[in-house]
Structure 1
Amino acid sequence: MSAALKLDSPTDPRDRGGPAQPLLIVENLKKYFPVRGGVLNRQVATVQAVDDVSFLVHKGETLGIVGESGCGKSTTARLLMRLMEPDAGSVVFDGDPVGDKRGISVSEMRRQMQMVFQDSYSSLNPRMTMAESIAYAPRMHGVGRKEAFERAERLLSRVGLNPALHARRYPHEMSGGQRQRVNIARALALEPRMVILDEAVAALDKSVEAQVLNLLTDLKHSLNLTYLFISHDLNVVEYMSDRVMVMYLGRVVETGPVESIYRHPRHPYTRALFASKPTLDPDRRTQEMPLTGDPPNPINPPSGCRFRTRCAFAQAICAEKPPLLAEPLAIPLAGAPEPSHLVACHLPEAQAAGASAHA
């Protein structure tokens, strides 16, 4: 990337693996949190926050991750950034294993993969001005003070802020939308190739949210970025994403192109998520609850398929073994899913047929 933060050509000089090589490959990622109790504060149980999660992100695309609170979306993001150490699994960045002597170090990976958090205020140091916050990472990586602050001012302009007005302000002097623009600028300060957006617009009102989403779209195309976009807002995910990954209780239950997932969801949990979307159409009121039953305890999740206790189509096999992500068999439905549409379900055809008959 040039000093003006714009690529001179569509090909990034750091692209060692070629355009067909996925930028990020995650295999069997796992994170359990211990639960301690008793007089001796011993471990008595574990919370299975992320359990055997695998996915990949192609160069230049946006992968959206959706799911209800507690499904493991944010924990997955923090594991990728190594803000917490995974219990198992591997991460490969552009063909290089992260943290392996044959690959790249965690520090080098962080230079090329940055993160924007949900809380725009707590993400910033209250004792630093906006320019200081943006310039901090480049200075820590050997960039001179003058050049780092010049880069900070360019980035402030790039995200729609006036350096003359905002560079010397502190976080409490900025609105939520302005602070999040600063966080985006700070994430771009090291000229990364990938940005993880963890509920980056969840705390913003709708008018500001639309502005930030348009900004992110513009930055993606002008800087040749790749996004991992985490959100609970299904409409925002549909607008931003090229592919979608649905998580439930620490596992991936469905993944595929956004058009295929939204038009022909296969997993009953995905269909329940879409059915729970509020509508402004008075003729399309929700007549029944999309889901029944309480969510399982992540300390003691159900055997086999973790969704089976809330699934109307569950059978004996669902309790015996967990389903693997696989392509559904061909079924007589108009607009059948694309080959890259994968679902972790033992009986996706029967459930799809039941959903069509119910509709």
Structure 2
Amino acid sequence: MLNTDQKFKGIDQIDLLIDEAGLNGVKRRERYPDRKFYGFFCSYLPEELVLAAGMQPLRLFPSSIQGTPAELPAYCCSLAKGTLSLAKPGNYHDLAGYGFVHTCDTMQCLGGIWQNVVSHDKSYMLVPPVMLGAPGAAKYFRIEAENLLAALGRLTQSSPGNSEIAAAIKLCRQVRQLAGELDQLRPMLPSQLVSALLRAGQVMPREEYASALQNALPVLKEKAEEDGTRKKLLVTGAVLENDSFFTMVEELGGRVAADDTCTGYRHFIEPPVKEETANLMQTVINRYIEMPPCPCRNRGLDTRLNYLASLARRRGATAAIILIRKYCDPHAWDAVPLARGLRDAGIQALVLELEGADVGGQERTRLQAFMESL
């Protein structure tokens, strides 16, 4: 049993994390004036290197209300359009830099446009190997990461070395271990709560996040309670900048028992260490090579399908929902064979397309019909 002080502290930290998730980094200058933030878009950009260079990784999210910037065609995803719409008026002027990852043609083009429209000297495009298990992929990825670290050092006028990388690895592993404890509670906590608590870890300083989540976990574990009346679901997809979808799942009597979205637990997964290496940069890269791949990366034709099918079974999920943002080509291409493979494995699947993260009547109708069919 927790004492009164522990409960109050834990509840206070939960409220803090929910607040940070709702703000999505908007009040970073007010709340953390002494911190330098580095904007990033993809989970394949190594956070360890940003931390080693003395900055805090800040995932850039679009706003729910957005237009189409003149620099982008209308058939771009809302992540690209929304973040560029926010950047042009100067909402990100305080960021020390911007990290892009070559995940698709849209993000590659956005990186180039960003340099011309937002900042010509603070952007960097990381190009990890598409075939993560290919011969030479690890060496290629390491060289890319070394070039990224050098670029990050130039932004902060520093020369991060082994001691800084080691400290960053230790901090990231602590954060991921705590996020893993939270993810284990997912079937016993409201879906939108877990989603918010995980997203907070991508928009606030990592030391503060680790401290807050560590204090919050005892209260969350005490409140966790299995609800046998809810249908357990696996959700996979790209970026979700708010909890609208997760709230709808709960309203319809569901529970997200496993979250494979880019902003969910997949962002925090720390795969088991196959072998320790004296090369700290290789240690960093090994984690990103071994993490469950998204549709933008490949470790084998059936790796992603087998991982998701196994995850669904472990969490007792009766079905899977595959979320794709409109005009997101990699996830759209992946959705058809993935849905077919899950159904062949005995897991019902629904492909649900979203314009952004907000869901409305059309999505509710489709989701409700699907859940009633389970």
TM-score normalised according to structure 1 size: 0.31
Q: TM-score, normalised by structure 2?
A: 0.30
Q: Name the structure where strand makes up a greater proportion of residues.
A: 1
More helix by share: 2
Structure whose CA Rg is larger: 1
